Amino acid sequence: MIVSDLSFDVVVVGGGHAGTEAAAAAARVGARTALVTHAHATIGTMSCNPAIGGLGKGHLVREIDALDGLMGRVADQGGIQFRVLNRRKGPAVRGPRAQADRKLYAQAMQRAIDSQPNLFVIEGEADALIFADGRVTGLRLLDGRVIAAGAVVITTGTFLNGLIHIGDRQTPAGRMGEQPARGLSGSLAALGLTLGRLKTGTPPRLDGRTIDWASLEMQDGDSPPEPFSTLTRAITNRQVQCGITRTTPETHAVIRANIDRSAMYSGNIKSVGPRYCPSIEDKIVRFGEREGHQIFLEPEGLDDPTVYPNGISTSLPE
């Protein structure tokens, strides 16, 4: 869609989980809203683990749904395995979780954004905020276009001056294969804001066609699957199993022998990672007495052989 009138009540920068919710919420209450993203095709991309919810997170998806948000409904359209974690315990500590098909989830989110009245998608890279009289009045894109805005919401995720570490190799990127947003970082710094870094890790993916699934413990989803959204009548996607395996002492020995090549332990990364999602290096260093650490092998799609090995995020070299 070509948008000729570049004047909006709200401009949201970034089309990930936060950006899509912010843009849709603004549009729902009647604000003329623009969602600025590098490419329409990447709206709703699941950058790391293609899963929604889980312990400490699933209740947030339900709360978003109660506020007429998108994530619960989209997860129900893209989900290929649904489980309620901690089901044997009380309702307050249960965690609904869905493993999603990356492609189906992104397609469903793009349909939701495209069908939302008052919401316009603008492809481009945000380069700088525009100010007048001490308040933000718009956004300049890298190609020179200027978007007037009553408010700007920044939901750029890992893209602000993003840097990928693989061992001792560093690559500027927002995520693998996509350029970072350097200009907007500079614009924020020019305001006198202090910029810092957060760290998140991801594991190398596996080719499911090379895995001996018959030798693994297999994990089914709930039957019938329980939707996230109260508006979902039933889950219609084919449901899949996940495999469970463990690291071995031999694996741990390789990691210990190369720990100085990990970006986290070489000093290349000085930021703080997520508390409840330690890398495999962290697990070996902090819990060295354990003989193995659990790995969940999670399919990334119904027609995609890629498998996400949940439990071994790393910054070790290739």
pLDDT in tens, 201-251: 899 999 999 999 999 999 999 999 999 999 999 999 999 999 999 999 999
Q: Could you please report the per-residue DSSP string of 10-57? A: EEEE--SHHHHHHHHHHHHTT--EEEEES-GGGTT---S--EEE-TTT
Is 113 exposed, middle or buried (CB count within 10 Å of its CB: 0-12, 13-18, 19+)? buried
pLDDT in tens, 100-134: 999 999 999 999 999 999 999 999 999 999 999 98
Out of 73-77, 206-210, 277-281, 304-308, which region has the weakest mean confidence (pLDDT)?
277-281
Of 311, 53, 45, 46, which is closest to residue 203 (Cα–Cα)? 311
pLDDT of 278 higher than 90: no
156 and 248 in a single domain? The answer is no
Residue type, 316: L
The pLDDT value recorded for residue 275 is 73
Interacting residues of 95 by C-beta distance below 8 A, sequence separation 6+: 53, 54, 55, 56, 57, 58, 59, 84, 85, 86
* CA dist list (Å): 178 to 88, 140, 181, 186, 203: 42, 20, 10, 19, 18
Residue 245 lies in a domain: yes
Instruction: Give the number of domains in the chain.
Output: 2
38 and 181 in a single domain? The answer is yes
Segment 181-201 shows an average pLDDT of 89
Model confidence, pTM: 0.93
Give the C-alpha separation, 93 to 85, whole Å. Answer: 9
152 and 185 in a single domain? The answer is yes
217 and 139 in a single domain? The answer is no
27 and 115 in a single domain? The answer is yes
169 and 212 in a single domain? The answer is no
174 and 226 in a single domain? The answer is no
Which has more pLDDT, 315 or 245?
245
The pLDDT value recorded for residue 1 is 57
Give the C-alpha separation, 74 to 48, whole Å. Answer: 17
pLDDT in tens, 153-176: 999 999 999 999 888 899 999 998
CATH code of residue 130:
3.50.50.60
Interacting residues of 317 by C-beta distance below 8 A, sequence separation 6+: 166, 167, 168, 169, 258, 261
Query: What ranges in 46-195 are assigned the alpha helix state H?
Result: 58-66, 71-78, 102-114, 182-190
**Residue 161 carries which DSSP code?**
T
Residue 315 lies in a domain: no
Interacting residues of 211 by C-beta distance below 8 A, sequence separation 6+: 243, 297, 307
pLDDT in tens, 59-100: 999 999 999 999 999 999 999 999 999 999 998 899 999 999
146 and 176 in a single domain? The answer is yes
What range defines the domain where residue 293 resides? 206-310
Residue 94 lies in a domain: no
CATH code of residue 258:
2.40.30.260
185 and 213 in a single domain? The answer is no
Residue 257 lies in a domain: yes
287 and 234 in a single domain? The answer is yes
2 — pLDDT class (breaks 50, 70, 90): low
Q: Which two tokens stand for residue 32?
A: 């003329």
Which has more pLDDT, 233 or 267?
233
Residue 30 lies in a domain: yes
13 and 142 in a single domain? The answer is yes
